[in-house]
Amino acid sequence: MIDDHIFDGIADKFAKNIYGTTKGKLRHTLLCDVLDSHLTANSTVLEIGGGTGVMAAHLAALGHSVVLTDASNDVLQQAADLLSQSSNEAIRDNIEIRQEFLQEITDFERFNVVICHAVLEWLDNPYEALSSIYNRMKPRTIMSLSFFNHDANLFANAIYGNFDYIEKGMKAKKQVRLNPKQPLSAVKVLNYCESLGFTVLDKAGIRCFHDYMRDISHQTTKYDDLLALERKYHKSDPYMWLGKYFQLIVEK
């Protein structure tokens, strides 16, 4: 039985929380920055856990063919609505939507690009999922992988003074449905990918500064300056390791 977290029943809250804020806007922009530099023209893309279709729309607009999958019917309905309303013909024509759990996808060999953004941290067995993806990808396929960073989460909670929460292993008594099941260590995921046989082509922290700003109004009022700073340092030590999310580009 699949017991991974999905967003049926809270799709509207999910979309607002992720994409209705500067943190969502910044995350999407930085993920695209890194991913786009590794894509060839007219790529065939499998997006795992693609949610409301924001990344799929971006890729389709660039001329790539995208199969958008997600386990949640509610989230995919939002994606269908978003994409059907687009004035960009490429967005309407270049995206196929499928309701599937990761474990149910059977046609990995069709694709030369796999995207798995903000999925692993919601799964019961994230490392097992990584192994499964690797085994089903065809050689010379690249994957963009991003996930909620455990180490940055611990650092942030220390800054906020949540010492009891850290001492308890950062496990809340009551699980909030928009809080990831299990953030992952960037270094451990990177090492695991290499142990599977992946070649790491690129790595970056996503939101290395945004979430730590003392004056949160600056997240909005100084957004352009903040974006420029993130772009300048998010692939550099030590800042990349403080990204609230971590992104890897790997190749089988």
Whether residue 70 is annotated as binding a ligand: the answer is: yes
- Peptide bond connecting 183 to the previous residue in cis, omega within 30 degrees of 0: no
Paired tokens of 237: 């030590």
E runs forming strands in 35-167? 44-48, 65-70, 95-99, 113-117, 142-148
Exposure class string for 98-110: b at 16+ Cβ within 10 A, else e: eeebbeebeebee
Whether residue 9 is annotated as binding a ligand: the answer is: no
Paired tokens of 185: 């260590």
Whether residue 50 is annotated as binding a ligand: the answer is: yes
Distance CA 248, CA 190 (A): 8
Among candidate residues 88, 146, 151, the one with its CA nearest the CA of residue 121: 146
Instruction: List binding-site positions for S-adenosyl-L-methionine.
Output: 27, 49-50, 70, 117
Instruction: List binding-site positions.
Output: 27, 49-50, 70, 117
